[in-house]
Each structure stands twice: as C-alpha cells, then as structure tokens.
Chains A and B, each alone.
Chain A
Amino acid sequence: MASWKLRDIIVLSSLSVVFAVVYLIFLQVGNVLVGFMGPMGYEVIFGIWFIVSVIAAYILRKPGAALLSETIAGTIEVLIGNVTGPILILSAFIQGLGAEAAFAAVRYRYYNTPVLMGAGVGAAVFSFAWGYFQSGFAALSTGLVLAMFIVRVISGAVIAGLLGKWISDALARTGVLRSFPIGKAAAQAAHQKQSSVKL
C-alpha cells in the first residue's frame, strides 16, 4: 500500500464508484435478459463486470490496480444496495484476481491490447469457476454450462478488454490523465515518434 499515493487510491475508488453504478444498471439489464434467455442472458454481457479492472490497471499501471478496483467496485455496489450482499465482495475479489493474474503474467510490463483482453479472459475464467460453485450451475446441463463458459470468455475479452481500452484511450485524449502513467506513456510515445521523424 505504501507505493500508492492517496490520489491514485481516490482515482481508483471513484472509477469504482462510477462502474459500481454501471454494474448495478447492468444487473437490471441482465435480469431482463435472464428472464428471456435464462442464465445465458448474463453471460453475454458478463464482461462489463470486469471492465473497471482493465481500465484502472491500464490507467494506473500498478500491481494490484485490477484486483483493488474490482474489489472496491464490489464493496461500493454492496454499500449502495446490491442485494447480492457481502458475498459480492468476494465474487468481485475473485474476478479482480483473474484480471490481475493476466497483468502479473507479463510482470506488469505490457499494457497492450492482447494483455488487456487477456485480463478480461482471466477474470471470466476465475469468475466462472467461482460461479459454478456459488450459483449452482451444477443443476444445469453440461452442454449449457460449456456454452455459458465460452460466451463469458468472449464477453470478457471483448467487453472488458476491448471496450475498456477504448474508453481509457478516449479518456486520455481529454487530457485529464496527463499526470498518470497512461498519459506519460502516451507523451513518451509521441515524443519518440517525433524524434524518429526528425532522424
């Protein structure tokens, strides 16, 4: 915790607050979808619930950002009334762990598209394992469970990975991230490009 500045923690926390609200909204969307399509309804949009991990890690580029942001988002969701309750914090922690694993696997050196998508996939795999135990997927037929798993992995890669990157990049263009690692990396890249043009 010592390497984290207060500013980074609050940024992490307010990102989590914004996405906690997004998560709650998508819970309702999911509920509607589930009403129509059964558990598969959730799987299609499941990636949205990992997105804060990807965004926070991509912006702050610190070990723990993915795990912490997802856990905080879960905590805040509980505080503002997600009735899944404290158990949700545990689910969020496990999802965050999955995303964090992807960043740890490249030793927090790369934050490119494959890694970000990998983080989405990691979160999907971890969360599915936990969900299998917690929500009783065992009651469903194996084929359906397998299909759900595949859909969730794709959703994680696309919604969390790609959409997360797209949002962060758009955010960086507004200039508010100038003093964050993502902004500095962008400035550096621009600088290198400029100097290579000169050469």
Chain B
Amino acid sequence: MKTSHAWGGLLNEMNPSIKGLTVILGVILLSLAFDPVTVSISLIYVLSVTALFGRISWRRWLLLFVPFFIMAIGYFWTAALFPRSDLPQDSPLIFSWGPLKMTEAGFSLALSLALRTLMFSALSLMFVLTTEPVKFMFSLMQQCKLPPKLAYGILAGFRFLPLFREELRIMQQAHRMRGIWREKRNIRSMLHAFKRYSIPLLASAIRKSERVAVAMVSRGFTGGKRDFYCQLKIRPRDWMFMGIVLSGIALGYAVSFALGTLTWYGGQL
C-alpha cells in the first residue's frame, strides 16, 4: 500500500530541519484557533498534502493514528459531559442521560478539542513517516549546528533500540524458566517485576554505551568539526513547501473567519 505518482516522495526528500520547523510552526499557529471549522479545514488540507507529496505506508499511518483517534474520543467525552462552568448556560440541550447533559456549546468545544488532537497528530505523522532518523540528525548538525558529539551520541544510543527489544524478549523467556509466574500477583510483586526487567536492561544499556563510546573514540571520533560525506542542503523548494503547508492553515483561518465561526484560543484563558 504505497502511493506512487510524479510528486510522491517530495515530502520524503525535503530537508528534515525545514520540515520539522514547518510542523512546529503549524502546531503553534493552530494552537491559536479554537473552533471546529478552522481546525477541520487545516486537518483535511494536511492530510491531502501528506497523501499527495509523501511516499508513505498508509498501514503504518493508520496504526499510529488510531491511538490518537481513541484519545481524541476520550477528550471529546470529557469535555462534552464535564464542560466549564463559564460556558453559556442557555445553550440548547442536545442530549441528556441522568445527571449528564450535553449542550450545543459544550459539543462544539469538545469537538474542537478532539479535532486539535487529530490535527497535531496528522501534522506529526507527516513528519515522522517521511523522515529517516539518520538524515534528521545529519540535518540538525548541518543546518541547526547541533554539536556532533551530541548528535552521534544520540545516534549510537538509537542504534541500541532493536537490541533492547530483543533483550527484553529473551529476559521474558528466561524469567519464565526461573518460575517467576509461581510468584503471587500483587502490587509488591508488580514493582518487583518492573525492577526485574528495568535494572538488567539499564545495566546492559550502560555497559553497551561504554563499549560503543570506546569504539567510537578508537575510530578517531573527537567530536570536533567535520566535513560531512552526506551533505544536506536547504533548497528553494523546501521553503516553498513550508509556504504551501502554512498557507493551507491560513486558508483554514480565512474560511472560518468568512463563515464567522473563528474563535481565538487566547481569549478563553
């Protein structure tokens, strides 16, 4: 399930720092609005941009999006059923069940809250699924002047990730062989279980870190300035892309303003 057409992949080839900046700016811009219309227009826009310019696995996209969808529903219910006391009390009632009441004002507020969550995750997925970790770190070093010592240190730690997963699996099996399941289940044994996994895992993480640090120093790494083999540049189209995304959000604001539904977030503090 991969999209592939003429522009597909533009998003993947974009400079990661600019892409990250675009997403952060997008999130900040959108946190200012607090109405369903602005947010949903932007949401649709961002989704289309991702579909059009991104080469991504939609299965993974769904897999990552679903938890946030559930979270959005959670937010929706809380905000709709336990609204702030300063909402207009005369708002028409949509539905009531025992002491629980949902008013139109409450509904609209809850909807925008839930949509915000979805919006933020859609923006982030656009970044996460089109960006290679190593390129992202390279870009942070080359464009944002992140010190190499820090960047390579982070990458070295990042490399351990699949190893930890494997180690955790083996530990689970090993503990089972020891007969851990024969222990009683209560809060104390749960704390013990947490410790049983976390301490060996962290101990091995620290030992591995020391070893890899030694290996890197042995390969001549000093953390000083370097000339990168893999050069990541900022090209005009990166800025163009930023413009496209941000103007879509502006469009959302404009439409909402024209419809008279635009609500600013700051006013409610």
B160 touches A6 (CB 8 A): no
Q: CB-defined interface of A8-22 with B at 8 Å, one 1/0 digit per residue?
A: 011111111110010
Binds A, one of B94-102, B173-181, B211-219: B211-219
- Given that A21-B164, A176-B203 are contacting pairs, would A85 and B127 also be in contact in the complex, using a CB cutoff of 8 Å? yes
Q: How far is the CB of B131 from chain A (nearest CB, A)?
A: 8
Interface size grouping (class) on chain A: 35 or more
Interchain CB contact under 8 A, A86 and B127: yes
Known contacts A81-B64, A136-B265; is-contact A170 B199 (Cβ 8 Å): yes
Q: How far is the CA of A13 from the CA of B160 in the complex (A)?
A: 10
Which residues in window 7-59 of A have CB below 8 A to B? 7, 9-18, 21, 27-28, 31, 34-35, 38-39, 41
* Given A6-B221, A31-B67, A171-B199, A85:B150 Cβ within 8 A: no
A-B contact pairs, 22 of them (CB 8 A): A6-B213, A10-B156, A10-B212, A15-B206, A17-B158, A18-B205, A34-B74, A38-B77, A39-B78, A79-B128, A82-B124, A85-B23, A85-B120, A85-B127, A87-B124, A134-B31, A138-B268, A138-B269, A139-B84, A144-B82, A170-B199, A171-B202
A49 CB, min distance to chain B CBs, angstroms: 15
B 190-230 to A, binary, CB cutoff 8 A, 1 in contact else 0: 00000100110111011111101110110001010000000
Given A76-B154, A174-B199, A4:B205 Cβ within 8 A: no
A6/B199 contact (C-beta < 8 A), A31-B67, A35-B74 known: no
Within 8 A of B (CB), among A84-101: 84-88, 90
CA distance A59 to B135 in the complex (A): 30
* Stretch of B109-117, B240-248, B249-257 on the interface side: B109-117
Is the beta-carbon distance between B67 and A27 smaller than 8 angstroms?
Answer: yes
Is residue B262 contacting chain A, with contact meaning CB distance below 8 A? no
Q: Verify if A72 is at the interface (C-beta below 8 Å from B).
A: yes
Which of A7, A13, A17, A79 has its CB near the most chain B CB atoms (within 10 A)?
Answer: A13
CA distance A155 to B167 in the complex (A): 29
Q: Which residues of A sit under 8 angstroms from B212, Cβ to Cβ?
A: 10
A1: Cβ under 8 A from any B Cβ: yes
Contacts of A88 in B (CB 8 A): 124
A139 near B209 with CB under 8 A, answer no
- Complex A-B, nearest 8 residue pairs according to Cβ-Cβ distance, in ascending order: A85-B124, A13-B157, A38-B78, A9-B153, A7-B213, A14-B157, A34-B74, A10-B209
A27-B67, A72-B154 given. 7 additional CB < 8 A pairs? Answer: A15-B206, A34-B71, A35-B73, A39-B74, A41-B74, A83-B64, A138-B268
From residue 75 to 124 of chain A, which have CB atoms closer than 8 A to chain B?
Answer: 75-76, 78-88, 90
Complex contacts, A9 vs chain B, CB 8 Å:
149-150, 153-154, 213
Complex alpha-carbon distance, A176 and B207, angstroms:
7
Chain B residues whose CB sits within 8 angstroms of the CB of A142 once the complex forms:
84-85
Chain A nearest CB: distance from B37 CB in Å? 16
Given A9-B150, A86-B127, A177-B206, A139:B113 Cβ within 8 A: yes
Instruction: Check A140 for interface membership: any CB of B closer than 8 A.
Output: yes
Q: Mark A133-172, 1 if CB is under 8 A from B, else 0.
A: 1111011111010000000000000000000000100110
Is A136 a contact of B120 with CB atoms below 8 Å?
Answer: no
Q: Does B53 contact A (CB under 8 A)?
A: no
- Return chain B residues, CB-CB under 8 Å to A38: 74-75, 77-78, 82
Selected from B67, B153, B269, the residue in CB contact (under 8 A) with A10 is B153
When C-beta atoms are compared, the residue in chain A nearest to B204 turns out to be A176
Are B68 and A83 interface neighbours, CB within 8 A?
Answer: yes
Assess the A13–B268 pair: CB atoms within 8 A: no
Tell whether, in the assembled complex, residue A76 and residue B157 are in contact, meaning their CB atoms are under 8 Å apart. Answer: yes
Residue of B nearest to A79 (CB): B133
- Give the docked Cα–Cα distance between A81 and B128 (Å): 6
| Cβ–Cβ contact A6 & B217, under 8 A | yes
User: Quick check: is B27 within 8 A (CB to CB) of the other chain?
Assistant: yes
Q: Please, which residue of chain B has its CB at the minimum distance from the CB of A41?
A: B74
| Residues in chain A near residue B268, CB distance under 8 A | 138-139
Chain B residues with Cβ below 8 Å from A10 are: 153, 156-157, 209-210, 212-213, 216
A174 to B199, CA, bound (A): 8
- Smallest CB separation, B264 vs chain A (Å): 11
> How distant is the Cα of A78 from the Cα of B150 in the complex, in angstroms?
17
